[in-house]
Structure 1
Amino acid sequence: MTQDTLPSAHPAIPPRRIGVLIANLGTPDGTDYWSMRRYLNEFLSDKRVIDLPSWKWQPILQGIILTKRPFTSGANYKTIWNTEANESPLMTITKEQVAALRDRAAGLWGDRVMVEFCMRYGNPSTEAVVDRMVKAGCDRILFLPLYPQYAGATSATANDQFFRALMKQVWQPAARTVAPYFDRPDYIAALAGSVTRALNGRVPRKLVASYHGMPKRYLMQGDPYHCQCQKTSRLLREALGWPEGVIDTSFQSVFGREEWLKPYTVEHVAELARQGITEIAVISPAFSSDCIETLEEIQGEIREAFGHAGGKEFTYIPCLNADPDHIDVLTTIITENLGGWI
């Protein structure tokens, strides 16, 4: 049935399209107390992130953490905030990535494919963007979380939110999610290229591959994140043709009192300096976009820990962001996952 043959009282039906929905972690709307509190409340209330029983965790979160942490987090965000656009760097970079992917999609498929982005926490929300895509005629949606390595607290919670959004649709689109791509040769090649360019082809004493952290308990429960991070580091070293021992894998952003995946980056870089390794480079292969963890934590706290322990030269290698090699990888992933749909 076409629009021309619909009964006069029938709701309008938009032309059929395929949607590609890119998902990133999220960002506060501003650096003020209430913007930070709303964002942190959503993030830290996620059971995939903090899996403590609500009766135990929520009084701590609402009564203690969200009273103080929005001030310190807001101050940290202010140091990296894109004041011209009044948004976080993560938002700016995600927009650049999606703009580049839209250009690629238009060249490949014309207006048949709609490329949008959402944030797991904050705005634009997954629910709002899914609703907009369905209203625009997307009867099939490919969901791509921007996490190379799978983790319950990143990839899985993004997928959870996507499916929750689908549950609210009267006419639910068909849906696919993209598998982790931590060991794809083209992704590893893009990482290696970024290292080579940043270091002008030289081999550092140490390249620290710093991944976002998670409680060790999650690994023991079967989360594959730790193993996938280790494999990414190994494949990166092999792609660069470096000897064993040049790349170290570590984990950052520790939260709470329980043991997290080790070594902790902030402690590891200080230990390297104390051992006499005073020149290091740091890369963040778990992040597709530079964000508070890379721009403030790595280039602030972690860099300072290295310097205070005697380190001299600290090189941060940016995330792949909107680099053409990265856009090539994402375009190929999208094309492969649209197989049979277009």
Structure 2
Amino acid sequence: MPMTSAASRTALVLANLGTPDAPTPVAVRRYLAEFLHDHRVVDLTRWLWCPLLHFVILPVRGKPVAKKYASIWMDGPDGGSPLAVYTRRLARAVQAEMPDVHVVDAMRYGAPSLRGVVARLEREGYARVVVLPLYPQYSTSTTASVEDVVARMDRLKPQVIEDYHLDAGWVAAVADSIRATRAERGGDRHLLFSYHGLPERFIRRGDPYQRQCEASSKAIADALGLDASRWSLSYQSQFGKERWIGPSTQSTLQAFAARGVLDVDVVCPGFAVDCLETLEEIAEMLAHEFAEAGGRLNYIPCLNDSPAHARVITDLARRALAG
């Protein structure tokens, strides 16, 4: 690495949500315990939530969730959970674009832990660290949790890039990916943007996530030259009994089938890389449900470790470092 002193050393941390380290009930329960203990994710009173989590949710959900992970687990020497594999590969691709900066990947939950990675960089003498949460749209349930970790560091205080939901390079990369996939598959199908859901109470408290999802979708649709009748927006991965922002992706696809819209492209620009929610929930489960209703769901992959995505991340990091 062409750096001359500890004072000049700079690191970039690509931080993603996290994943179990194996598609097993034990690993899934361990991961979910850490994830669902975060008050940013579940803000219920701890005395009510913790017994429910440990004595009901984790024992019940471990096995079925592990089965879902097993259906998408990647083989090979660089295999594993797609979210971990693609995040690691993306970090390598960005490193090739930024030889003067040390680029590493980290997970907010699971391994390699964000706190552990930043602490190691501090011990190794890095004077400046930029953390880029791989969430294009800001939410208090995701990006703010990364900021919580950074704020608790003892000495080194990394800079956090909060969001990039309207970054011109990112919008162009997503639009180009959609355009290329549709050209390869042929046809002119309705385009559905599907984002991870969020309870409505977060939005009422001022969370900008829904507004940013809408802005991202409009910008990408404009880049593709689509008018409002040729694309829709929905939210997936809802659970529990409270009201979530909508419409849900599942109900949207059901409505499409009912009115004869039977060939649909689905893209998930709220996810930087493919993961359980895109590969199992969208490309497997909802695609199967839509097929049973007579439709065909064509899933468009995330940017993953593509050269275009590496250039987007590099540009974001360079601007942060310059600023």
TM-score by length of 2: 0.94
Give the corresponding residue for 2:280.
296
Q: Does 1:269 align with 2:269?
A: no
Provide, for residues 209-262 of structure 1, a one-character-per-residue CA deviation record: whole Å limited to 9, x for no partner: 000011011111110000000011111111011121211110000011101111
Name the SS of the counterpart of 2:164 in structure 1. Answer: coil
Equivalent position amino acid for 1:89 in 2: P
Match of 1:61 among 50, 53, 66: 53
Give the corresponding residue for 1:253.
237
Equivalent position amino acid for 1:104 in 2: E
Give the corresponding residue for 2:28.
36
Equivalent position amino acid for 1:228 in 2: Q
Match of 2:158 among 175, 180, 184: 175
Equivalent position amino acid for 2:320 in 1: N
Give the corresponding residue for 1:121.
109
**Number of residues of Structure 1 aligned to a counterpart in Structure 2:** 317
| Structure 2 Cα separation of the partners of residues 22 and 277 of structure 1 | 38
* Matches for 1:64-143 after TM superposition, within 5 Å: 64-85=56-77, 86-106=79-99, 109=100, 113-143=101-131
Provide, for residues 27-81 of structure 1, a one-character-per-residue CA deviation record: whole Å limited to 9, x for no partner: 1011122211110001111111111111111111111001110101100000011
CA-CA distance at 1:174 after TM superposition: 4.3
Give the corresponding residue for 1:9.
none
* Matches for 1:127-206 after TM superposition, within 5 Å: 127-164=115-152, 166-167=153-154, 172-200=155-183, 204-206=188-190
Conserved 8 A contact 2:6-2:127: no
Q: Does 1:323 align with 2:311?
A: no
Name the SS of the counterpart of 1:245 in structure 2. Answer: helix
Equivalent position amino acid for 1:297 in 2: E
| Structure 2 Cα separation of the partners of residues 200 and 77 of structure 1 | 30
Unaligned ranges ≥5, structure 1:
1-12
Structure 1 residues 189, 56: closer, same or farther in 2, change over 3 A? same
Name the SS of the counterpart of 1:200 in structure 2. Answer: helix
Name the SS of the counterpart of 1:117 in structure 2. Answer: strand
Conserved 8 A contact 2:150-2:157: no
Equivalent position amino acid for 2:297 in 1: F
Equivalent position amino acid for 1:100 in 2: A
Name the SS of the counterpart of 1:152 in structure 2. Answer: coil
Percent of residue pairs bearing the same amino acid type: 38
* Matches for 1:215-294 after TM superposition, within 5 Å: 215-294=199-278
Conserved 8 A contact 1:93-1:322: yes
Conserved 8 A contact 1:139-1:174: no
Give the corresponding residue for 1:7.
none
CA-CA distance at 1:16 after TM superposition: 4.2
Equivalent position amino acid for 2:114 in 1: T
Name the SS of the counterpart of 1:21 in structure 2. Answer: strand
CA-CA distance at 1:203 after TM superposition: 6.3
Structure 1 residues 131, 317: closer, same or farther in 2, change over 3 A? same
CA-CA distance at 1:308 after TM superposition: 2.0
| Structure 2 Cα separation of the partners of residues 83 and 245 of structure 1 | 40
Equivalent position amino acid for 1:120 in 2: R
| Structure 1 Cα separation of the partners of residues 109 and 311 of structure 2 | 27
| Structure 2 Cα separation of the partners of residues 76 and 174 of structure 1 | 37
Match of 1:52 among 23, 29, 44: 44
Conserved 8 A contact 2:72-2:280: yes
Give the corresponding residue for 1:314.
297
CA-CA distance at 1:87 after TM superposition: 1.6
Provide, for residues 130-172 of structure 1, a one-character-per-residue CA deviation record: whole Å limited to 9, x for no partner: 12111221111111100100011111112212322x13xxxx2
Equivalent position amino acid for 1:76 in 2: K
CA-CA distance at 1:84 after TM superposition: 2.2
Task: Calculate the aligned-residue CA RMSD, in Å.
Answer: 1.5
| Structure 2 Cα separation of the partners of residues 32 and 278 of structure 1 | 36
| Structure 1 Cα separation of the partners of residues 231 and 187 of structure 2 | 10
Provide, for residues 65-110 of structure 1, a one-character-per-residue CA deviation record: whole Å limited to 9, x for no partner: 011101011000000112324520111101110001111111xx3x
TM-score by length of 1: 0.89
| Structure 1 Cα separation of the partners of residues 50 and 32 of structure 2 | 12
